Amino acid sequence: MMLTAIRREFPEPSLSVFFALQALDVLTTLLGLRAGAHEGSLFISKLMQMGPLPALLLVKAFASVLVVTAFGFKKSRVVVFLNFWFAAVVTWNLGIILTALFSAA
């Protein structure tokens, strides 16, 4: 059996999905913080001493530069991986928000 016969097609990378997930991550993180959750990343929680929104926007700007650079170097798999990763992060944030809201009720 040829190796190419069992190879699956890799999903197309999407910058629009990446930027939408970044916006959702910022939104759900801010909502989670307002609901009483804490930032899970030590690095980002230290940055949040300057304020949650500026810290998140700084981190998202850095992530955006890295993703655009990955596209520039034809490393589109990095973008696909990050899209899956941030979809999981947004889902996690939503779960934390729901848990905080239902435990407060």
Q: For position 10, what pLDDT does the model report?
A: 65
What one-character-per-residue DSSP string does the chain give?
A: --GGGSPPPPPPP-HHHHHHHHHHHHHHHHHHHHTT---S-HHHHHHGGG-HHHHHHHHHHHHHHHHHHHHHTT-HHHHHHHHHHHHHHHHHHHHHHHHHHHHH-
- Statement: residue 91 has pLDDT above 70: yes
- Statement: residue 83 has pLDDT above 60: yes
- Statement: residue 7 has pLDDT above 70: no
pLDDT band at 3 (very low <50, low <70, confident <90, very high): low
**What's the average model confidence in pLDDT over 7-35?**
88
pTM: 0.84
Q: For position 8, what pLDDT does the model report?
A: 67
